[in-house]
C-alpha cells in the first residue's frame, strides 16, 4: 500500500447544535479515484474544503504531503481580478507547469481565451474553472459538482480526461453515470462520520442499504438488552446492590447510546398536486422553425404530444433546447409553422435558474406566496411547517431567509413549491442540478407516477433513462443545424438508434433525418422494439396498473349498486345523470388501463423470451 498524500483524521466541526462532522476520516493515496457522497446538508462540500485547506476543523489532524500539489474546483468560481478567461485559467498554474496546456484545454472546452470571465454563462464559467484546475495536472484534484451546467458532450469529454489523468481524484457529484465511470472507491458522509467502500459508486447503494439494515438490527438488539437490564433493575438489584453497581453503570451507558442514536436522515415524502385531466391532445407542432440572426435553431420540426407522454430534450449547450421548449409551451412564437395546444392545460414550470429566488424572502413566505401559514396541497389545507418537513426542512427554518440555504436546499425548496401547485403539464428545465441522490430518486418516482404530461431538459443520462419515454435531440449533435429528431426510449436507447442509423447510412439506407414527420411523431410515443428492455416508467406502470384497475372496478361496482335503486331516478334525476356520466367515464378508463397493462405485459414476456 502506497503512503497517503492526504490524510484527515478524527475531523470534527460544528456550527451550533448537532455536529456537522464528528470523527470523520479520509485517506487519499496516489492514483485514487474516490467519490464523496451523502445527503444535502451532510457536510460534503465543507469536508472537501477542509481537505483543500480552505476551512479549519475544530478538532482532528490533517496531513498533506509536502510535495503534493492540490487543486480545488468550487461550485461558484471567483473571477475577480482576472480580465480574460486565459488569465483566469493560467492563474492555476505552478512555476514548472506547461502554459500551453491551458490553451489546449480552452480549445477542447470551446472557450475564447480573450473573453471577459464576468460575462460567461453558467456552463462557460464551469468549463473555465475546469481548465484552471486541470491544467497543472496536480497530485490531487478536489472537484465539487464538476458536471453542473455542463452539456452531455462536455461531460463525456471530462470523463475521458479524468480517466486518463494521473491525479488522485476526490469528487462530489449528483450524476450517477459520471460517478460510476470515474470512481474506484466511495466515501459515504453520514451523520458526521465518513465510511469507506473500496469499490466504485456502482456498488454504493447496495452497500449503503446493507449498512443501514445492520445498524437497524443492532439498535433492535440494544433495545432488547435494555429491556432485560431494566427488568433486572426492578426485580433483582436490592439484594445485590453493592456488587452490581458496575451493571447499573452499563445500563446507563446503553440507555444513553440508544437515546443518542439519530438514525439516517429522513426520506422526502411528497407527491405532485395533480389538476383535472387535460384533453388527450396536449401539444401539436407543425413544421415550426426559428432562427436568430442567420443561425437556424429549429427548422421544419413537427411533433404530436399526447396526455401522459414523458419527453426529454437533450443536446449540447447552444443547440436550442430551451428555444424549442419555449415554442412548444407557447412562451416563444415560431418564425414559421404552427403550435396548437389542447384543452384544460394547467402548467407547472421548474426553471433551472435559482437566481430568480428572492434571497431576503423567508421559506414560509415563498411557499405560501405570503398568504398566511398554510397552503393547499392536493385540495387539502396544510400548515407550512408540516409541508416543509416532507422536504426535510426543520420547522425553525420557516422564518429563515432563502440566502442562508445551500444550493441543494434551494433546489429542494423550488421543487416543494412546484409540487404544491395543481398541474397536468409539468415542465422541468435541468431539474437534477444540486439534488442529492435520494431527492433524485424521489423526483424519478414523481415523474414516473405523474398522470399528466412531462417535458424535461436534462444532461443527466441516468435520470433520462429512468424517466422518459422518448428523447428529442439534434440530428447532428456535433454541429447542430436546426434539425431535431424524436427517438423512442431513454438516452441509452437514443445512442443505440443513432448507432443503427450510422450503420444504415453506410449501407445506403434512408437516414433518420430524412424520415417523414409522421414517423418522428410515432417514435415519440411508441416503445422501441429493439431496446429489449422496459423503461423505468413502463416498469412502474406495469406494477401499479393492477391496483388502479381494481380501485376503479370497486368504484364502478359502488355506483352500479346506487343506480340499481329504482327510487334514485325519481328522487334525484340530476344525481342519477351524474352517476351515469361517471359510470361511462370509469368504464372507458378501465378499458384503457387494461389495454395498456396487456400491451406492457406482452412486451415484458417478449423481452424475457428473447433473453432465454
**What is the per-residue pLDDT for 499?**
76
What residues contact 156, with CB distance under 8 A and at least 6 apart?
A: none
Nearest to 43 by CA among 180, 204, 183, 194: 194
The residues that bridge with 303 in the sheet, in sequence order, are 285
Lowest mean per-residue pLDDT among 146-155, 290-299, 573-582, 601-610: 601-610
Alpha carbon distance 423, 451 (integer Å): 10
**Runs of H (alpha helix) within 469-535:** 491-506, 517-525
For residues 115 and 232, state if they share a domain: no
Contact 248, 233 (CB under 8 A): yes
**What is the per-residue pLDDT for 498?**
82
Domain membership of residue 529 (yes or no) is no
For residues 156 and 219, state if they share a domain: no
**What is the per-residue pLDDT for 300?**
94
pLDDT at 31 over 60: yes
The residues that bridge with 541 in the sheet, in sequence order, are none
How far does CA 400 lie from the centroid of its chain? 25
**What is the per-residue pLDDT for 259?**
58
Q: What is the largest CA-CA distance in the chain?
A: 97
The residues that bridge with 22 in the sheet, in sequence order, are 12
pLDDT at 234 over 60: no
* Cβ-count burial 398-419 (b if 16+ within 10 Å, e if not): beeebeebebbbbbbbbbbbbb
Nearest to 86 by CA among 113, 121, 106: 113
| pLDDT classification of 425: cutoffs 50, 70, 90 | very high
**What is the per-residue pLDDT for 251?**
56
Match 414517423 to its residue by C-alpha cell: 519
What residues contact 327, with CB distance under 8 A and at least 6 apart?
A: 285, 288, 290, 298, 333, 334, 339
Model's pTM, two decimal places?
A: 0.69
Alpha carbon distance 331, 317 (integer Å): 20
Alpha carbon distance 180, 198 (integer Å): 13
Alpha carbon distance 306, 327 (integer Å): 17
Domain end residue (candidates: 198, 228, 260): 260
What residues contact 105, with CB distance under 8 A and at least 6 apart?
A: 89, 130, 131, 134, 135
Is the model more confident about 286 or about 540? 286
Is the model more confident about 215 or about 237? 215
Which CATH number fits the domain that encloses residue 142? 3.40.50.300
Q: How many contiguous H segments (helices) and E segments (strands) does the chain have?
A: 19, 20
Pairing of strands 380-383, 281-292: unpaired
Quote the domain boundaries for residue 605: 536-611
Is the model more confident about 353 or about 539? 539
What's the whole-number mean pLDDT along residues 375-387?
85
Alpha carbon distance 439, 409 (integer Å): 11
| pLDDT classification of 436: cutoffs 50, 70, 90 | confident
Decide: residue 137, CB within 10 A, 0-12 exposed, 13-18 middle, 19+ buried: middle
| pLDDT classification of 519: cutoffs 50, 70, 90 | very low
Alpha carbon distance 73, 144 (integer Å): 6
For residues 106 and 234, state if they share a domain: no
Domain membership of residue 336 (yes or no) is no
| pLDDT classification of 528: cutoffs 50, 70, 90 | very low
Alpha carbon distance 84, 527 (integer Å): 48
For residues 114 and 17, state if they share a domain: yes
Write the pLDDT tens digit of every residue in 79-92. Answer: 988 999 999 999 99
Alpha carbon distance 347, 278 (integer Å): 10
Match 487519499 to its residue by C-alpha cell: 28
Domain membership of residue 421 (yes or no) is no
**What is the per-residue pLDDT for 574?**
80
For residues 21 and 88, state if they share a domain: yes
How far does CA 116 lie from the centroid of its chain? 32
Match 406482452 to its residue by C-alpha cell: 602
**What is the per-residue pLDDT for 515?**
34
With the C-alpha atoms ordered 70, 74, 78, 83, is the resulting torsion angle positive or negative? positive
Decide: residue 426, CB within 10 A, 0-12 exposed, 13-18 middle, 19+ buried: buried
For residues 95 and 147, state if they share a domain: yes
What's the whole-number mean pLDDT along residues 522-531?
39
Match 493560467 to its residue by C-alpha cell: 90
Alpha carbon distance 569, 563 (integer Å): 8
What residues contact 66, with CB distance under 8 A and at least 6 apart?
A: none
Write the pLDDT tens digit of every residue in 465-481. Answer: 989 999 999 998 878 88
Contacts by 88-93 with C-beta closer than 8 Å and gap 24+? 88/117, 88/128, 88/132, 89/113, 89/128, 89/131, 89/132, 89/135, 90/135, 91/132, 92/132, 92/133, 92/135, 92/136, 93/135, 93/136
Match 460534503 to its residue by C-alpha cell: 44
Domain membership of residue 241 (yes or no) is yes
For residues 129 and 101, state if they share a domain: yes
**What is the per-residue pLDDT for 56?**
94
Cell of residue 227, nine digits: 429491556
Write the pLDDT tens digit of every residue in 54-69. Answer: 999 999 999 999 999 9
Domain membership of residue 163 (yes or no) is yes
What's the domain count of the chain?
3
For residues 201 and 242, state if they share a domain: no
Residue 192 is given by DSSP the state: T
Lowest mean per-residue pLDDT among 32-41, 219-228, 333-342, 489-498: 219-228
For residues 132 and 217, state if they share a domain: no
Domain membership of residue 297 (yes or no) is no
Alpha carbon distance 318, 321 (integer Å): 8
pLDDT at 258 over 80: no
For residues 143 and 60, state if they share a domain: yes
Pairing of strands 470-474, 310-313: parallel
For residues 31 and 111, state if they share a domain: yes
* Cβ-count burial 272-282 (b if 16+ within 10 Å, e if not): bbbbeebeeeb
Alpha carbon distance 465, 314 (integer Å): 12
Alpha carbon distance 546, 554 (integer Å): 12
For residues 127 and 249, state if they share a domain: no
Cell of residue 363, nine digits: 421559506
**The residue count for the chain:** 612
Which CATH number fits the domain that encloses residue 607? 1.10.287
Beta strands in 65-214, from DSSP E residues, in sequence order:
70-73, 140-144, 168-172, 185-190, 193-197
Write the pLDDT tens digit of every residue in 147-156. Answer: 988 888 899 9
Domain membership of residue 82 (yes or no) is yes
Domain membership of residue 479 (yes or no) is no
Amino acid at each position: 500500500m502506497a503512503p497517503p498524500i492526504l490524510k484527515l483524521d478524527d475531523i470534527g466541526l460544528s456550527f451550533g447544535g448537532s455536529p456537522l462532522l464528528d470523527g470523520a476520516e479520509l485517506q487519499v493515496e496516489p492514483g485514487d479515484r474516490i467519490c464523496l457522497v451523502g445527503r444535502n446538508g451532510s457536510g460534503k462540500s465543507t469536508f472537501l474544503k477542509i481537505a483543500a485547506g480552505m476551512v479549519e476543523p475544530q478538532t482532528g489532524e490533517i496531513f498533506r504531503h509536502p510535495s503534493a500539489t492540490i487543486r480545488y474546483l468550487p461550485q461558484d468560481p471567483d473571477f475577480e481580478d482576472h480580465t480574460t478567461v486565459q488569465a483566469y485559467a493560467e492563474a492555476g498554474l505552478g512555476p514548472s507547469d506547461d502554459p500551453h496546456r491551458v490553451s489546449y484545454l480552452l480549445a477542447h472546452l470551446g472557450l475564447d481565451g480573450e473573453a471577459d470571465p464576468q460575462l460567461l454563462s453558467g456552463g462557460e464559467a464551469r468549463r473555465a474553472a475546469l481548465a484552471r484546475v486541470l491544467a497543472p495536472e496536480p497530485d490531487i484534484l478536489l472537484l465539487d459538482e464538476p458536471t453542473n451546467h455542463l452539456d452531455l458532450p462536455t461531460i463525456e469529454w471530462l470523463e475521458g480526461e479524468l480517466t486518463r489523468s494521473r491525479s488522485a481524484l476526490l469528487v462530489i457529484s449528483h450524476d450517477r453515470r459520471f460517478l460510476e465511470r470515474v470512481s474506484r472507491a466511495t466515501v459515504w458522509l453520514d451523520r458526521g462520520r465518513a465510511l469507506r467502500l473500496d469499490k466504485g459508486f456502482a456498488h454504493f447503494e447496495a452497500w449503503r442499504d446493507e449498512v443501514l439494515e445492520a445498524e437497524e438490527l443492532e439498535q433492535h438488539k440494544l433495545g432488547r438488552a435494555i429491556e432485560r437490564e431494566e427488568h433486572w433493575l426492578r426485580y433483582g438489584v436490592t439484594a445485590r446492590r453493592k456488587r452490581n453497581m458496575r451493571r447499573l453503570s452499563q445500563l446507563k451507558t446503553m440507555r444513553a447510546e440508544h437515546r443518542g442514536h439519530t438514525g439516517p436522515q429522513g426520506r422526502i415524502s411528497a407527491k405532485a398536486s395533480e389538476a383535472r385531466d387535460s384533453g388527450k391532445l396536449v401539444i401539436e407542432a407543425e413544421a415550426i422553425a426559428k432562427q436568430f440572426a442567420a443561425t437556424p435553431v429549429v427548422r421544419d420540426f413537427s411533433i404530436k404530444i399526447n396526455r401522459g407522454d414523458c419527453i426529454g430534450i437533450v443536446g449540447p449547450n447552444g443547440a436550442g433546447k430551451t428555444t424549442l421548449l419555449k415554442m412548444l409551451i407557447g412562451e416563444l412564437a415560431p418564425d414559421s409553422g404552427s403550435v396548437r395546444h389542447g384543452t384544460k392545460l394547467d402548467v407547472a414550470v421548474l426553471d433551472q435558474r435559482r437566481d430568480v429566488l428572492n434571497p431576503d424572502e423567508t421559506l414560509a413566505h415563498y411557499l405560501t406566496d405570503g398568504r398566511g401559514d398554510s397552503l393547499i396541497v392536493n385540495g387539502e389545507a396544510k400548515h407550512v411547517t408540516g409541508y416543509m418537513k416532507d422536504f426535510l426542512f426543520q420547522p425553525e427554518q420557516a422564518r429563515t431567509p432563502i440566502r442562508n440555504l445551500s444550493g441543494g436546499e434551494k433546489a429542494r425548496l423550488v421543487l416543494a413549491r412546484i409540487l404544491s401547485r395543481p398541474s397536468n403539464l409539468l415542465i422541468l428545465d435541468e431539474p437534477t442540478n444540486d439534488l442529492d441522490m435520494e431527492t433524485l430518486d424521489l423526483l424519478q418516482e414523481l415523474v414516473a407516477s405523474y398522470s399528466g404530461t412531462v417535458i424535461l431538459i436534462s444532461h443527466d443520462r441516468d435520470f433520462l433513462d429512468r424517466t422518459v419515454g422518448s428523447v428529442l435531440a439534434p440530428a447532428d449533435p456535433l454541429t447542430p443545424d436546426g434539425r431535431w429528431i424524436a427517438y423512442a426510449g431513454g438516452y441509452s436507447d437514443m445512442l443505440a438508434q443513432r448507432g443503427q442509423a450510422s450503420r444504415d447510412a453506410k449501407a445506403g439506407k434512408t437516414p433518420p433525418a430524412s424520415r417523414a414527420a409522421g414517423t418522428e411523431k410515432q417514435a415519440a410515443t411508441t416503445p422501441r422494439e429493439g431496446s429489449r428492455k422496459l423503461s423505468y416508467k413502463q416498469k412502474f406502470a406495469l406494477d401499479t396498473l393492477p391496483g388502479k384497475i381494481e380501485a376503479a372496478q370497486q368504484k364502478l361496482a359502488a355506483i352500479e349498486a346506487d343506480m340499481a335503486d329504482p327510487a334514485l331516478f325519481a328522487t334525484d334525476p340530476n344525481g342519477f345523470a351524474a352517476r351515469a356520466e361517471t359510470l361511462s367515464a370509469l368504464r372507458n378508463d378501465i378499458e384503457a388501463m387494461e389495454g395498456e397493462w396487456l400491451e406492457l405485459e406482452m412486451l415484458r414476456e417478449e423481452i424475457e423470451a428473447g433473453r432465454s
